[in-house]
Amino acid sequence: MNDPEPAEEIVPRILKQYSERPRGWHIMNTPTGDVLVLSTDSAFQLKLIPLSPFEFTGAGIELSKSNKTIESIRSSPEFGLRPIDELDLQKLVNALGSSQSTGSVPEVQEILKRAPVSLEDLSSNKHAQDHILRGPVLMRPDLGSLSPELLEMQTLLDRSAQKSFRDRYPMRAGMYL
Q: Which domain holds residue 110?
A: 82-133
pLDDT in tens, 16-74: 999 999 999 999 999 999 999 999 989 999 999 999 998 999 999 999 877 888 889 99
Highest-confidence segment of 38-47, 82-91, 111-120: 38-47
pLDDT of residue 97: 76
Distance CA 120, CA 124 (A): 6
Do both 91 and 177 map to the same domain? no
**Neighbour tally for 126: CB within 10 Å:** 11
pLDDT of residue 22: 95
pLDDT of residue 102: 57
Do both 29 and 100 map to the same domain? no
pLDDT in tens, 129-174: 678 889 999 999 999 899 999 999 999 999 999 999 999 888 887 7
Do both 72 and 152 map to the same domain? yes
pLDDT of residue 93: 83
Cα–Cα nearest to 73, from 27, 109, 41, 114: 27
Do both 67 and 6 map to the same domain? yes
Task: Report how many domains make up the chain.
Answer: 2
Secondary structure of the chain: what % helix, strand, coil (to 5)?
45, 25, 30
Do both 73 and 14 map to the same domain? yes
